[in-house]
Structure 1
Amino acid sequence: MSISVADHILERLRDWGVEHVFGYPGDGINGLIAAFGTAGDRPRFVQSRHEEMSAFEAVGYAKFGGGAGVCMATSGPGAVHLLNGLYDAKLDHVPVVAIVGQVARTALGGHYQQEIDLPALFKDVAGAYVQMATVPEQFPNLIDRAMRIALAESAPTAVIVPADLQEAEYSPPAHAFKHVPSSAPGHTRPVARAPEDEVARAAEVLNAGSRTAILVGQGARGAAAEVAEVAEITGAGVAKALLGKDVLPDDLPYVTGAIGLLGSRPSYELMRDCDTLLIVGSGFPYSQFLPEYGSARGVQIDVDAKMIGMRYPTEVNLVGDAAATLRSLIPRLRRREDRSWRETVEAGVRRWWETVERQARVPADPVNPMLLFWELSSRLPDDAIVTADSGSAANWYARDLRFRGRMRGSLSGTLATMGPGVPYAIGAKFAHPSRPAIALVGDGAMQMNGLAELLTAARYRDRWSDPRLIVAVLHNNDLNQVTWELRAMGGSPKFEESQTLPDMDYAAFARSIGLEGIVVDRPEDVGPAWDRALAADRPVVLDVHCDPDIPPIPPHAEFDQIKDAAAAIMKGDPDAGGVVRKGLRTKAQELFSRS
């Protein structure tokens, strides 16, 4: 029996083990949508509220271990809408495959409705592989290559299928000139290990130091045990780039937490005072938070040779799988018997967590946003998946949450786009329906697209064996991160026309669509609200009324930042009184801990 090209595409996705396709319909993919119907919704089509959300959900699905994420959109505007999510995948090195419609082949080049030069549009974002099909015989090769390259390069890829081709009869490639066959689906990542002589050089560098710092990123996620062993042998402290927050648990006494503007004081001190730096699987870009050039010898390990040697002047660069390369390195390392450096690091970590708690308990009007994160930290289920949005929520996610056990967490680390927090969590629930997911988002991101995507959560909650998807909204009616950036980086007071958000009742909206909605407007209610949400039998929105004047002060504020913030106050910032009073009180907790 003959089948259509669209039927074949879904069949091939099933062969690849794809269980979910995140998308939104349109006439440019009518053939594919019809094929889902005849295939009994296998793979399952997950309808978002917007194509950008489909891409974000595919990214969340892939980030949290669901395999390559697959998203789908119609031609023209649908394809354009995918771009932001696909750029998020590109910059955070996430395997996502986009299947996109196009106008009929007979209309191409005719300035037809919704005709866009899609190969050119996707050339940058899906540069690893983007192809437009023109005849049935190009399949299954196009799907197979898109999947393999996405997985091999941890990157987004795109296959463009004109509308009329989707409905054409499928015929496979022949054993003929200029036809390209394909093999059985599947991808196994090769295990590459750095050469032994280079590993030996790296060991010499690490053995020569006395104050070692390790920086891990998401590329070290499969090497947690090996990183911990190296840290134990060398007496090192371990700092974590933002995307590597879940690599090592924060209950290890030598883990200093996040690094950079969103980082911790002990991570800053670790980099300031070390004489040796080992970077594992991280492309952390802010070199000013790494050791002063020339003050520390450096070794970097990364599976991607393109990411080597461009963040710090490392003298030994090992290209290879993190776990395999560290296993080769470990027998060559000498145990450091002098543990004074480690003891200094651990003392700093203890003081830091005491500081974080005191900062979270600084009085606010009405709720200190840090308290929301601090109270969640001890309550997180060991298998929780946590997402955060860009903005001030990312600050508190990075600094205040202590991960342990099997917890996973992520956000838009490199693109730092607003809006992925809720769709990431939805994608995570499809990847792991038996695990709780928690999205921590600002009210700006919630108004941008999170509210609409609550409808998606309401629609699909019955497919999740654990129904808990909790969205905590930092409700302060302010685009808070940009407000603080205006103050600290430009010396500009808050401009209310751009920064103030319209007020709304997020909990009431949740209840109106059958979810649980909880309003929190007193500090003493924060902990009980988390308890109630974590015990709920459905998705929950926590509408937390937060104080916008609690500052996300970096652990090491530059003089220029302090000067610019002061200038903003002097110029008549509308929240000047609260900013000064609460800012000084928050920073004082850190100064007190070091006295």
Structure 2
Amino acid sequence: MNVSDHLVQRLSEWGVRRIFGYPGDGINGVMGALGRDDHGIAFVQARHEELAAFMACAHAKFTGMPGVCLATSGPGAIHLLNGLYDARMDHQPVVAIVGQQARSALGGEYQQEVDLSSLFKDVASEFVQTVSVPAQLRHVVDRALRIASERRTVTCIILPNDVQELDAVAVPPREHGSVRSGIGITHRAQVPDDAALDAAADILNAGRRVAMLVGAGALHASDELMAVADRLGAGVAKALLGKAALPDALPYVTGSIGLLGTAPSSELMEGCDTLLMVGSNFPYAEYLPEEGKARGVQIDTDAARLGVRYPMELNLVGDSRATLAALVPRLRQQTDLAWREEIEDKVARWWRVLEERAMQPAEPINPQRVFWELSPRLPDGCILTCDSGTAATWYARDLQLRRGMMGSLSGGLATMGPALPYALAAKHAHPDRPVVALLGDGAMQMLGINALITIAASWKHWRNPGLVIMVLNNGDLNMVTWEQRATAGDPKFSPSQDLPTFAYAEFARQLGLGGIRVDDPEQVGPAWEQAFAAGRPVVLEMVTDPNVPPVPPHVTGAQMRAYAAALLKGDPDARKAMLGSAREWWAGVVANLKGRRG
């Protein structure tokens, strides 16, 4: 074996079954080894290295196992960075393997020579190493995978192209200066000690208005979350990455929190006297209780993320599922249900408001209706991926996820572009499950069109070809347009915001995929049904109105003043934007009137 063969073998021994990447001469040795591999590792060719890194991140999100991406030296390595930062900021284990010029050329300003150690030192700050000699490879691979897994972060292996072809040293020598690592299973403490659990229970039992905030770290703890919420009579808000932690149909689940969140979630945090935060790194202080008004308990596997977002009274380091299970017997059953009933009433009224908003007229389709009509049609066990922008707002608010579904997007980085590579990774990781990708036309033009080519080339090999790609075609970089108005007080700047016209559904049909274009609101529901029944991947192009505002859960005076100033400064869509805002307001009035009559 040479070093590249040894690399592939060691990755296989760690359980790696697929690598996402793009070839180049700086990584040819590893490509050759993958071609010779009989260890069951599949190479998944992306259209761009950024897509490969997004796919590795999504693989980690949807499997819990490290994702691995591969790129050539220089430009290929540089292209990985955005997807790797997505993984790092969402705390996902990803290993990047990148080529480098020959050792003898380094420092000579050689073609495609980039200082990769410096380049990756931030995104892979926990571990980035260059393999200089064959005996080094085993422990570099072992540490890269172990650190990525245990610290839930990004690591990087740099392989000069001449090292890739050297004879392998499978077992490092037993001598001074040699490192001999192993794959051995890691076991860690899952539950805090009894004294800490008792102290946490005392705080929670004393609360009369308990709020829970759950995130991605609690996705595997649904039963335990429900048990704690029922004991405490609590309401539960969800950070965006934790949307699938609890079914949205539960009457005490207030939905997402934050700028893209719901009014009941904001009111839950404003009114609580106790906050239990589980597996979340939600950063926005203005949507958490005012300091001093609520006692706090936080649970996280990483002590470094405890007590950062709110001054908690007690912090517990442990797995959310195991810690909550140990906590439940210590919690007293709340008998005063006034707080819970208040929460459930607000949640019920909010769903009426969302339905009324979704059914308001628009030119031609209200984007909220696209998501509202999707909810009851979601296949059991489906996986949803979403992009950044207004699509994320409607995903956060209007979609009701059921038990057994999965969903994710770019949380911490909030970058454009991951919806389709996430969906591709989901199909590779869970080939029997239907997948739905939700994105705007900006993200589709940025990376999605390229990803469609990969889908067209591979879908016939999938056991279940069910993949629906829904594109909001509004001709506008819509989230930024609204931010310009409501945050900066500036009118829409058309040269930066308007998008070129593109026939998304037609392009999909040219690739051999399904393509459906919808510009009639009455056809939204039937189009979803047609797409799910197609028996092949389908691009569902929804022609939507860019002047339906993604209204935050509570509009501040500063936002209102900025918005008014923007429209008065000559916004090209001022009249339509005002009409869209008026319809949103009126929908809330109508929904509340209907609720009182009911």
TM-score of Structure 1 vs Structure 2, range by shorter chain: over 0.9
Measured after TM superposition, the shift of residue 594 of structure 1 is 4.2
> Which residue in the other structure is 2:278 paired with?
280
Q: Are 1:407 and 2:394 an aligned pair?
A: no
* Counterpart residue identity of residue 104, structure 2: T
In the TM superposition, 1:545-556 aligns within 5 A as: 545-556=543-554
TM-score (norm 1): 0.98
Q: Partners of 2:404 and 2:370 in 1: how far apart?
A: 21
- In structure 1, the residue matched to 2:529 is 531
The one-character-per-residue Cα deviations of 1:48-72 (angstroms, maximum 9, x if unpaired) are 1100000001111111116211100
Show the counterpart of 1:428. 426
Match of 2:337 in 1: 339
How far is the alpha carbon of 1:198 from its aligned partner? 2.1
Task: Write out aligned runs for 1:461-472 (5 A).
Answer: 461-472=459-470
**Which of residues 132, 140, 165 is equivalent to 2:130?**
132
Mapped pair 1:475 → 2:499:
no
- Structure 2: where are the runs of 5+ without partners? 594-598
> For residues 323 and 359 of structure 1, what CA distance do their matches in structure 2 show?
36
Encode CA deviations 1:390-414: one digit per residue, 9 max, x unaligned. 0010000000000102110010001
The Cα offsets for residues 298-336 of structure 1, whole Å up to 9 and x where unpaired, read as 111111110011111111111111122222222221111
State the distance in 1 between where 2:89 and 2:441 align.
25
Partner of 2:174: 175
Give the structure 2 partner of residue 300 of structure 1.
298
Matches within 5 A, 1:30-69: 30-39=28-37, 42-65=40-63, 67-69=65-67
Instruction: Tell me: CA distance 1:502–1:41, structure 2 relative to 1, closer, same or farther (3 Å).
Output: farther
Q: Distance in 2 between matches of 1:382 and 1:187?
A: 34
Change (3 A) 1:66 1:328: closer
Shift of 1:12: 1.2
C-alpha separation between the residues in 1 aligned to 2:326 and 2:68? 36
Three-state SS of the structure 1 residue aligned to 2:515 is strand
Deviates more, 1:172-181 or 1:505-514: 172-181
Report the counterpart of residue 383 of structure 2 in structure 1.
385
Structure 1 residues 28-51: Cα deviation after superposition (integer angstroms, max 9, x where no partner): 001111112222694111111100
Tell me the secondary structure at the aligned position of residue 300 of structure 1: strand
| Residue of 370, 373, 379 corresponding to 1:372 | 370
Q: 1:275: Cα distance to partner?
A: 1.0
AA matched with 2:503: D
C-alpha contact 1:553 1:587 (8 A) present in aligned 2: no
CA contact (8 A) 1:151 1:187 kept: no
The C-alpha deviation readout for 1:93-128, integer Å capped at 9, x for no partner, is 001111110001111111111111111111110111
Q: How does 1:117-196 map to 2 (within 5 A)?
A: 117-172=115-170, 173-183=172-182, 185=183, 187-188=185-186, 190-196=188-194
Q: What secondary structure sits across from 2:276 in the alignment?
A: strand
Aligned partner of 2:179: which letter?
Answer: V
How many residues end up aligned between the 2 structures? 592
Q: Partner letter of residue 331 of structure 1?
A: P
Q: Cα offset for 1:90?
A: 0.3
Offset at 1:10? 0.8
Q: How does 1:175-574 map to 2 (within 5 A)?
A: 175-183=174-182, 185=183, 187-188=185-186, 190-574=188-572
How far, CA to CA, are the matches of 2:518 and 2:64 in structure 1? 34
Helix, strand or coil at the partner of 1:358: helix
The structural deviation recorded for 1:424 is: 0.6
3-state SS, counterpart of residue 169 of structure 2: coil
Provide Cα deviations, 1:515-545, integer angstroms capped at 9, x if missing partner. Answer: 0000011001111111011111111101110
* Post-superposition offset of 1:201: 1.7
Alpha-carbon deviation of 1:588?
Answer: 2.4
Note the C-alpha offset of 1:591: 3.9
SS at match of 1:395: helix
Is the contact made by 1:433 and 1:463 (CA closer than 8 Å) also made in structure 2?
Answer: no
Structure 1 SS opposite 2:346: helix
Q: TM-score, normalised by structure 2?
A: 0.97
Question: Which sits farther off after the overlay, 581-590 or 564-573?
Answer: 581-590
Deviations 1:461-517 (A, max 9, x none): 123211111110000010000000000001100000000000010001101111000
Asked if structure 2 preserves the Cα contact closer than 8 Å seen for 1:66 and 1:432, the reply is: no
Residues 9 and 39 of structure 2 are in contact (CA less than 8 Å); yes or no, is this contact kept in structure 1? no
Q: Are 1:11 and 2:9 counterparts?
A: yes
In the alignment, does 2:12 pair up with 1:22?
no
Query: What letter matches 1:142 in structure 2?
Result: V
Q: Which amino acid aligns with 2:304?
A: K
The runs of 5 or more residues in structure 1 that have no matched partner are none
SS state at 1:161 partner: strand
Conserved 8 A contact 1:16-1:186: no
Cα distance in 2 for partners of 1:400, 1:299 equals 29
Aligned partner of residue 517 in structure 1, secondary structure: strand
Q: Note if contact 2:285-2:309 (Cα within 8 Å) is conserved in structure 1.
A: yes
Aligned with 1:98: secondary structure?
strand
CA contact (8 A) 1:271 1:289 kept: yes
Cα 1:440/1:118, change in 2 over 3 Å: same
Q: CA RMSD in A?
A: 1.2
Q: Indicate the residue corresponding to 2:596 in structure 1.
A: none
In structure 2, do the counterparts of structure 1 residues 457 and 571 end up closer, same or farther at CA, with 3 Å as the change threshold?
same
